Amino acid sequence: MTNEEITRLLKKAYSDEIETVMNYLTNSIVLEGVSAEEVKESLETDIQEELGHAEQLGNRLKQLDERPPASYDFEARQESLQPPEDSTDVLSVINGVLDAEEDAIETYRDLVDAATDGDDPVTEDLAVTILSDEEAHRTEFRGFRREYQD
Ligand SMILES: [Fe+2]
Ligand SMILES: [Fe+2]
């Protein structure tokens, strides 16, 4: 039963990473203006990291004799990360990123717990490693938000 929860969370995390890649990529292209440059650059770096997370999660699923989901299984959830009407509205993107990172942090915390309960130290280790990346992303974008709110 616990192993089902591990699989469910691995698949959810995989889908979320793919949706994050799509929305970070779109926002990094759509945003414009002098003040957007730093955020765009940061998004471009994070896209590669999030894609790397998806790859690691997909490979872990394979090791567990499962398959990562593909687009027909996909359900979009990141409403606040849709690109803003105003392409210079950097704060809207920053807030969307923070929502996505908070959501990811919650998922990886759940995965750590499920892997601990299910005695799966390999998945646990992976979840802890990715969790620390997501916390670093959150810290970076909290810094951006502080700048934009002043
Ligand atoms: Fe990620
Ligand atoms: Fe992230």
Least distant ligand from the CA of 130? 1
**What band does 1 get if pLDDT is binned at 50, 70 and 90?**
very low
CA of 62 to the centre of ligand 2 (A): 22
**What band does 2 get if pLDDT is binned at 50, 70 and 90?**
low
Domains of the chain from N-terminus onward: 3-76+87-149 (1.20.1260.10)
Residues 6+ apart with CB under 8 A from 48: none
pLDDT digits (tens, 9 = 90+) for 10-66: 999 999 999 999 999 999 999 999 989 999 999 999 999 999 999 999 999 999 999
Find the helix or strand (DSSP H, E) in which 147 lies.
helix 121-149
Least distant ligand from the CA of 17? 1
Distance CA 86, CA 79 (A): 16
For position 104, what pLDDT does the model report? 98
Least distant ligand from the CA of 52? 1
CA of 57 to the centre of ligand 1 (A): 10
**What band does 108 get if pLDDT is binned at 50, 70 and 90?**
very high
